[in-house]
Amino acid sequence: MNEISDMRNITSSDLCRFRPGFHAWTVGGLLVLIWAIGLCPSMFSLPTEVYAEALESTSVAQEQLESDSQGKVESDSVEDSDDEEMIEILAQKFNRDEKKGVSIWTGNVRMTRPNGFLNADKVSMYEDAETGEYIKTVAERNVEIRDEDMFATCEHAIINHTDDTVDLRDNVIVIQNADRLEAKHFTFNRRTGKQTADGGVKFRVRMTRQKKTADTPTEAKE
Protein backbone atom coordinates (compact mmCIF):
# COMPACT_ATOMS: atom_id res chain seq x y z
CA MET A 1 0.00 0.00 0.00
CA ASN A 2 2.77 2.43 0.79
CA GLU A 3 4.34 1.70 -2.57
CA ILE A 4 1.05 2.52 -4.38
CA SER A 5 0.72 5.79 -2.47
CA ASP A 6 4.23 6.67 -3.42
CA MET A 7 3.44 6.04 -7.07
CA ARG A 8 0.39 8.34 -7.00
CA ASN A 9 2.48 11.14 -5.55
CA ILE A 10 4.92 11.12 -8.47
CA THR A 11 4.97 14.55 -10.19
CA SER A 12 5.83 15.45 -13.74
CA SER A 13 9.28 16.52 -12.71
CA ASP A 14 9.80 13.13 -11.10
CA LEU A 15 8.62 11.52 -14.37
CA CYS A 16 11.24 13.45 -16.26
CA ARG A 17 13.83 12.26 -13.82
CA PHE A 18 12.79 8.67 -14.39
CA ARG A 19 12.71 9.23 -18.27
CA PRO A 20 15.44 11.68 -19.23
CA GLY A 21 14.46 11.63 -22.96
CA PHE A 22 10.77 12.33 -22.42
CA HIS A 23 11.08 16.12 -22.40
CA ALA A 24 13.24 16.20 -25.54
CA TRP A 25 10.90 13.80 -27.36
CA THR A 26 7.89 16.00 -26.53
CA VAL A 27 9.54 19.15 -27.89
CA GLY A 28 10.73 17.36 -31.02
CA GLY A 29 7.29 15.92 -31.67
CA LEU A 30 5.70 19.33 -31.30
CA LEU A 31 8.11 20.78 -33.88
CA VAL A 32 7.33 17.95 -36.31
CA LEU A 33 3.60 18.58 -35.83
CA ILE A 34 4.01 22.31 -36.55
CA TRP A 35 6.04 21.52 -39.69
CA ALA A 36 3.38 19.08 -40.91
CA ILE A 37 0.62 21.65 -40.38
CA GLY A 38 2.61 24.22 -42.37
CA LEU A 39 3.17 21.70 -45.15
CA CYS A 40 -0.49 20.74 -45.57
CA PRO A 41 -1.61 23.90 -47.43
CA SER A 42 1.17 23.50 -50.00
CA MET A 43 0.25 19.84 -50.43
CA PHE A 44 -3.36 20.75 -51.23
CA SER A 45 -2.54 23.87 -53.26
CA LEU A 46 -0.29 22.04 -55.72
CA PRO A 47 -3.02 19.87 -57.28
CA THR A 48 -5.33 22.91 -57.47
CA GLU A 49 -2.75 24.90 -59.44
CA VAL A 50 -2.15 21.97 -61.77
CA TYR A 51 -5.90 21.55 -62.30
CA ALA A 52 -6.28 25.27 -63.03
CA GLU A 53 -3.52 25.13 -65.65
CA ALA A 54 -5.08 22.06 -67.25
CA LEU A 55 -8.49 23.72 -67.30
CA GLU A 56 -7.06 26.84 -68.92
CA SER A 57 -5.28 24.76 -71.57
CA THR A 58 -8.51 22.88 -72.29
CA SER A 59 -10.44 26.13 -72.67
CA VAL A 60 -7.86 27.53 -75.10
CA ALA A 61 -7.93 24.32 -77.13
CA GLN A 62 -11.74 24.36 -77.21
CA GLU A 63 -11.81 27.99 -78.39
CA GLN A 64 -9.27 27.18 -81.13
CA LEU A 65 -11.33 24.18 -82.25
CA GLU A 66 -14.54 26.25 -82.40
CA SER A 67 -12.71 29.00 -84.31
CA ASP A 68 -11.35 26.51 -86.85
CA SER A 69 -14.77 24.91 -87.25
CA GLN A 70 -16.44 28.29 -87.78
CA GLY A 71 -13.81 29.24 -90.33
CA LYS A 72 -14.34 25.99 -92.19
CA VAL A 73 -18.13 26.51 -92.24
CA GLU A 74 -17.72 30.05 -93.57
CA SER A 75 -15.21 28.84 -96.17
CA ASP A 76 -17.55 26.07 -97.28
CA SER A 77 -20.43 28.56 -97.48
CA VAL A 78 -18.40 30.85 -99.73
CA GLU A 79 -17.41 27.95 -101.98
CA ASP A 80 -20.99 26.71 -102.20
CA SER A 81 -22.31 30.19 -102.97
CA ASP A 82 -20.09 30.38 -106.08
CA ASP A 83 -21.51 27.19 -107.65
CA GLU A 84 -24.97 26.77 -106.13
CA GLU A 85 -28.07 28.82 -105.40
CA MET A 86 -31.12 28.11 -103.29
CA ILE A 87 -34.44 27.90 -105.20
CA GLU A 88 -37.91 27.87 -103.60
CA ILE A 89 -40.81 26.46 -105.64
CA LEU A 90 -44.57 26.67 -105.01
CA ALA A 91 -47.11 24.82 -107.17
CA GLN A 92 -50.36 22.88 -107.14
CA LYS A 93 -48.84 19.57 -108.27
CA PHE A 94 -45.42 17.96 -108.47
CA ASN A 95 -44.19 14.89 -110.39
CA ARG A 96 -40.69 13.43 -110.65
CA ASP A 97 -39.16 10.71 -112.80
CA GLU A 98 -35.77 9.82 -111.35
CA LYS A 99 -34.79 7.52 -114.22
CA LYS A 100 -35.35 10.25 -116.79
CA GLY A 101 -34.13 13.00 -114.47
CA VAL A 102 -37.23 15.16 -114.93
CA SER A 103 -39.12 17.15 -112.27
CA ILE A 104 -42.43 18.79 -113.25
CA TRP A 105 -44.45 21.40 -111.35
CA THR A 106 -47.91 22.43 -112.57
CA GLY A 107 -50.61 24.85 -111.51
CA ASN A 108 -49.68 28.46 -110.72
CA VAL A 109 -45.98 27.70 -110.37
CA ARG A 110 -43.89 30.24 -108.45
CA MET A 111 -40.14 29.71 -108.50
CA THR A 112 -38.00 32.13 -106.50
CA ARG A 113 -34.22 32.36 -106.63
CA PRO A 114 -31.61 35.00 -105.69
CA ASN A 115 -31.99 38.15 -107.83
CA GLY A 116 -35.00 36.83 -109.72
CA PHE A 117 -38.05 34.62 -110.13
CA LEU A 118 -39.89 32.47 -112.67
CA ASN A 119 -43.69 32.16 -112.83
CA ALA A 120 -45.67 29.93 -115.24
CA ASP A 121 -48.50 27.42 -115.52
CA LYS A 122 -45.98 24.61 -115.90
CA VAL A 123 -42.27 24.33 -115.13
CA SER A 124 -40.06 21.33 -115.94
CA MET A 125 -36.48 20.90 -114.77
CA TYR A 126 -34.13 18.42 -116.44
CA GLU A 127 -31.01 17.06 -114.77
CA ASP A 128 -28.06 14.91 -115.74
CA ALA A 129 -28.73 11.36 -114.50
CA GLU A 130 -25.03 10.78 -113.83
CA THR A 131 -23.96 14.04 -112.19
CA GLY A 132 -27.32 15.14 -110.78
CA GLU A 133 -26.73 18.68 -112.08
CA TYR A 134 -29.64 20.55 -113.66
CA ILE A 135 -29.25 21.02 -117.41
CA LYS A 136 -32.23 23.22 -118.30
CA THR A 137 -35.53 24.62 -117.05
CA VAL A 138 -38.57 24.86 -119.35
CA ALA A 139 -41.52 27.15 -118.55
CA GLU A 140 -44.81 27.03 -120.44
CA ARG A 141 -47.82 29.36 -120.68
CA ASN A 142 -48.17 32.72 -118.94
CA VAL A 143 -44.45 32.89 -118.33
CA GLU A 144 -42.96 35.72 -116.27
CA ILE A 145 -39.22 36.01 -115.69
CA ARG A 146 -37.26 38.41 -113.52
CA ASP A 147 -33.46 38.33 -113.88
CA GLU A 148 -31.82 41.15 -111.93
CA ASP A 149 -32.84 44.35 -113.81
CA MET A 150 -34.60 42.51 -116.67
CA PHE A 151 -38.29 41.51 -116.68
CA ALA A 152 -39.88 39.49 -119.49
CA THR A 153 -43.18 37.80 -120.35
CA CYS A 154 -43.85 35.15 -123.01
CA GLU A 155 -45.57 31.81 -123.61
CA HIS A 156 -42.52 29.55 -123.71
CA ALA A 157 -39.11 29.90 -122.08
CA ILE A 158 -36.00 27.72 -121.92
CA ILE A 159 -33.25 28.48 -119.42
CA ASN A 160 -30.06 26.60 -120.27
CA HIS A 161 -27.97 26.11 -117.13
CA THR A 162 -25.00 24.75 -119.05
CA ASP A 163 -24.19 27.86 -121.09
CA ASP A 164 -26.31 30.24 -118.97
CA THR A 165 -28.59 31.41 -121.81
CA VAL A 166 -32.31 32.29 -121.85
CA ASP A 167 -34.54 31.58 -124.87
CA LEU A 168 -37.99 33.23 -124.98
CA ARG A 169 -40.67 32.55 -127.61
CA ASP A 170 -44.19 33.67 -128.57
CA ASN A 171 -45.53 37.10 -127.59
CA VAL A 172 -42.26 38.12 -126.03
CA ILE A 173 -42.08 41.40 -124.13
CA VAL A 174 -38.80 42.40 -122.49
CA ILE A 175 -38.42 45.43 -120.22
CA GLN A 176 -35.01 46.52 -118.99
CA ASN A 177 -34.69 49.83 -117.20
CA ALA A 178 -36.50 52.29 -119.55
CA ASP A 179 -36.13 50.09 -122.67
CA ARG A 180 -38.96 47.91 -124.00
CA LEU A 181 -38.74 45.22 -126.68
CA GLU A 182 -41.44 43.13 -128.35
CA ALA A 183 -40.73 40.16 -130.62
CA LYS A 184 -41.64 36.59 -131.44
CA HIS A 185 -38.24 35.31 -130.36
CA PHE A 186 -35.65 36.69 -127.95
CA THR A 187 -32.39 35.27 -126.59
CA PHE A 188 -30.19 36.53 -123.78
CA ASN A 189 -26.76 35.38 -122.60
CA ARG A 190 -26.46 35.98 -118.90
CA ARG A 191 -22.68 35.68 -118.93
CA THR A 192 -21.83 37.97 -121.84
CA GLY A 193 -24.95 40.17 -121.83
CA LYS A 194 -25.51 39.56 -125.54
CA GLN A 195 -29.15 39.90 -126.71
CA THR A 196 -30.84 38.97 -130.01
CA ALA A 197 -34.44 39.33 -131.23
CA ASP A 198 -36.33 38.40 -134.39
CA GLY A 199 -39.88 38.22 -135.73
CA GLY A 200 -41.81 41.47 -135.71
CA VAL A 201 -39.35 43.27 -133.53
CA LYS A 202 -40.63 46.45 -131.91
CA PHE A 203 -38.12 48.33 -129.83
CA ARG A 204 -38.54 51.43 -127.71
CA VAL A 205 -35.57 53.05 -126.07
CA ARG A 206 -35.19 56.27 -124.13
CA MET A 207 -32.36 58.50 -125.27
CA THR A 208 -31.04 61.37 -123.19
CA ARG A 209 -29.92 64.46 -125.10
CA GLN A 210 -26.98 66.46 -123.93
CA LYS A 211 -28.04 69.89 -122.83
CA LYS A 212 -26.26 72.87 -124.33
CA THR A 213 -24.49 75.15 -121.93
CA ALA A 214 -23.21 78.70 -122.20
CA ASP A 215 -19.68 77.40 -122.63
CA THR A 216 -20.63 75.23 -125.61
CA PRO A 217 -18.84 76.68 -128.71
CA THR A 218 -21.05 77.73 -131.62
CA GLU A 219 -20.17 77.69 -135.28
CA ALA A 220 -19.11 81.07 -136.66
CA LYS A 221 -21.51 82.61 -139.12
CA GLU A 222 -20.09 83.18 -142.60
pLDDT of the residue at 67: 60
**Residue-level pLDDT, tens digit, the chain, 222 residues:** 444 444 445 444 454 444 444 444 454 555 555 555 554 444 444 455 544 565 566 666 566 656 655 654 454 444 444 556 788 999 999 999 988 899 999 999 999 988 899 999 999 999 987 888 889 999 999 999 998 889 999 999 999 999 999 999 999 999 998 899 999 999 999 999 999 999 999 988 877 777 766 555 555 444
State residue 213's pLDDT score.
65
- 15 to each of 1, 7, 27, 30, how far by Cα in Å? 20, 10, 16, 19
Residue 217: per-residue pLDDT: 56
Length of the chain: 222
Going by C-alpha positions, the residue among 137, 138, 134, 86 that lies closest to residue 113 is 86
Alpha-carbon gap, residue 210 to 128, rounded angstroms:
52
